């Protein structure tokens, strides 16, 4: 038996495309007024953290995010189609 934890808190808008794969212990938080789109075929590793406080976070089609990637967004963030982010990469936007 394979068990895993996925914590979703979506008070804003969260859209998942077809065939999205999200690893174990992932956390996705979407604050009111924020939007998150994870396009079709995106692969997200274990221990992924996404906190969208404002703006639109878009993870493109067939993008690959390795383990322990962290995205903290106070403005728009785009990870392009077919992009790859390695282990423990952090994408942060400023508050202004």
Each residue's pLDDT tens digit, 9-36 = 667 899 999 999 999 999 999 999 999 9
Residues 69 and 66: their CA atoms lie apart, in Å, by 6
- Tell me which DSSP letter residue 31 carries: -
Say what the pTM is.
Answer: 0.88
Residues 10 and 6: their CA atoms lie apart, in Å, by 12
pLDDT of residue 94: 82
Each residue's pLDDT tens digit, 33-55 = 999 999 999 999 999 999 999 99
First to last CA, the chain: 46
Share of the chain above pLDDT 90, in %: 81
pLDDT band for position 5 (50/70/90)? Answer: low
Sequence length of the chain is 96
Kindly calculate the radius of gyration of the chain based on its CA atoms and give it in whole angstroms. Answer: 12
- Tell me which DSSP letter residue 89 carries: -
The domain limits of the chain are 6-92
């Amino acid at each position: 038996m394979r068990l895993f934890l996925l914590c979703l808190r979506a008070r804003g808008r969260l859209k998942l495309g077809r065939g999205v794969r999200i690893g174990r212990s992932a956390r996705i938080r979407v604050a009111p007024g924020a939007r998150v789109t994870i396009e079709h075929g995106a692969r997200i590793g274990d221990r992924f953290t996404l906190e969208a406080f404002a703006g639109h976070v878009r993870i493109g089609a067939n993008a690959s995010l390795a383990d322990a990637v962290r995205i903290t967004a106070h403005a728009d963030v785009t990870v392009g189609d077919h992009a790859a982010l390695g282990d423990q990469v952090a994408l942060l936007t400023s508050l202004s």
